[in-house]
Amino acid sequence: MSQSTKTFKNPRKSGNASAKSQKNSKKGQNNQKKTHKSFYNVSQKDQNQNSNYTKFSGKIFKESSYMPDFIKEVANNDTLCKCMKCQDPETKKTGKIIMVNNIYSHLKSKQHKNNTPSDEDEKLEELLKLLEEKSKDKPNKEQFNEEQDIVNYLHFISFAISHNLSYSQIESLGTYLQKASREKKLGFFKNFSFDEHLMSKITQDCFRPILLQEMRNQLSIAPYSLVINNATFSGDSVCALKVKYLITEWDQNLKENITQIKNKIISLSNLKESSSGLSLKNVIEERLFSSESIKNQFFGLLTTMHLH
Ligand SMILES: [Zn+2]
């Protein structure tokens, strides 16, 4: 009996379809961005250099009071700005379109220097100095983060493997954390602990009543069999009370109704303590037969005995 139950595997896969679709939509966004930039005739080299586009905000001025005079926002595109001292080669109008990421190289350019009135030369010099200082630590910081990220990533994987998590469990956990991090839902790490006893308490007091109610709801509409599994492990007799039933549920990944066999344990007990038929009956009454509709779906009884 127990062998045949083993073959009934949950047909649902730990789907990461949502993660995949997110990836795709992200790609889509990037493509969109690139199209925008080609529209403004920004060179391919610029696009490749900047995988992280800086957005237009007060921060880009780096506390300079001079730069806001001539670097202005571009409507409908926050990764671009325009220099009101230079002419756009396309439109031949004042306001050369540049990427926010490339402001520094533009300000250093000959074109910009030629378009700056000589009485502003000093201001431009000061501005370039300021931007150079600010940009000095930035690439180092980013590089450090990237290296640190790789180290942290490998730490996470090695931790999971050393705790015997399967590859698919690591994938599920990693994908879950990735999604939660993207949605900024990991703030609880700062304020909550993961103490073993607390986890047990939460499972018992918080999840168990809900899961039990869910099972009861299913058993009040689906015919079920009660399975009593007795097994002996090195002298100790253990008795598992299980219910077995068919349930049809909507599968979000497959987009169709899936009928599956559910095997759920309602009680696990040491037979030394409660070996009598009466105590088994009590467990069944208490855990299972909580309503008439559940009693009515009772279909049959199976018992198995294993000796190990
Ligand atoms: Zn310029």
Kindly tell me if the per-residue pLDDT of 14 is higher than 80: no
pTM given for the model: 0.41
Kindly tell me if the per-residue pLDDT of 121 is higher than 90: yes
Q: Is residue 253 part of a domain?
A: yes
- Total domains, the chain: 3
Kindly tell me if the per-residue pLDDT of 71 is higher than 80: yes
Question: What pLDDT shows up at residue 89?
Answer: 82
Confidence at 304, pLDDT banded by 50, 70, 90: low
Question: What pLDDT shows up at residue 141?
Answer: 57
**In the predicted model, what is the mean pLDDT of the chain?**
77
Q: Is residue 31 part of a domain?
A: no
Q: Is residue 29 part of a domain?
A: no
Retrieve residue 9's tokens: 């595997």
d(CA 62, CA 55): 14
Give 88 Cα–ligand 1 centroid separation in angstroms. Answer: 9
Give 107 Cα–ligand 1 centroid separation in angstroms. Answer: 6
Confidence at 276, pLDDT banded by 50, 70, 90: low
> What is the pLDDT averaged over residues 68-79?
91
Retrieve residue 146's tokens: 């990237």
Residue type, 178: Q
Q: Is residue 162 part of a domain?
A: yes
Give 98 Cα–ligand 1 centroid separation in angstroms. Answer: 9
d(CA 40, CA 34): 10
> What is the pLDDT averaged over residues 38-58?
57
Give 198 Cα–ligand 1 centroid separation in angstroms. Answer: 61
Give 85 Cα–ligand 1 centroid separation in angstroms. Answer: 5
Q: Is residue 21 part of a domain?
A: no
Which helix (H) or strand (E) is 94 found in, with range? strand 94-99
Give 51 Cα–ligand 1 centroid separation in angstroms. Answer: 23
> What is the pLDDT averaged over residues 183-207?
91
Domain that holds residue 179: 143-191
Based on the domain organization, do 205 and 293 belong to the same domain?
yes
d(CA 193, CA 204): 17
Retrieve residue 189's tokens: 């790490």
DSSP 3-state of 73? strand
Give 193 Cα–ligand 1 centroid separation in angstroms. Answer: 54
Q: Is residue 186 part of a domain?
A: yes
Q: Is residue 26 part of a domain?
A: no
Based on the domain organization, do 216 and 301 belong to the same domain?
yes
Highest mean pLDDT range out of 119-123, 138-142, 299-303?
Answer: 119-123
**Higher pLDDT pick, 69 / 90:** 69
Question: What pLDDT shows up at residue 116?
Answer: 94
Give 3 Cα–ligand 1 centroid separation in angstroms. Answer: 77
Give 52 Cα–ligand 1 centroid separation in angstroms. Answer: 23
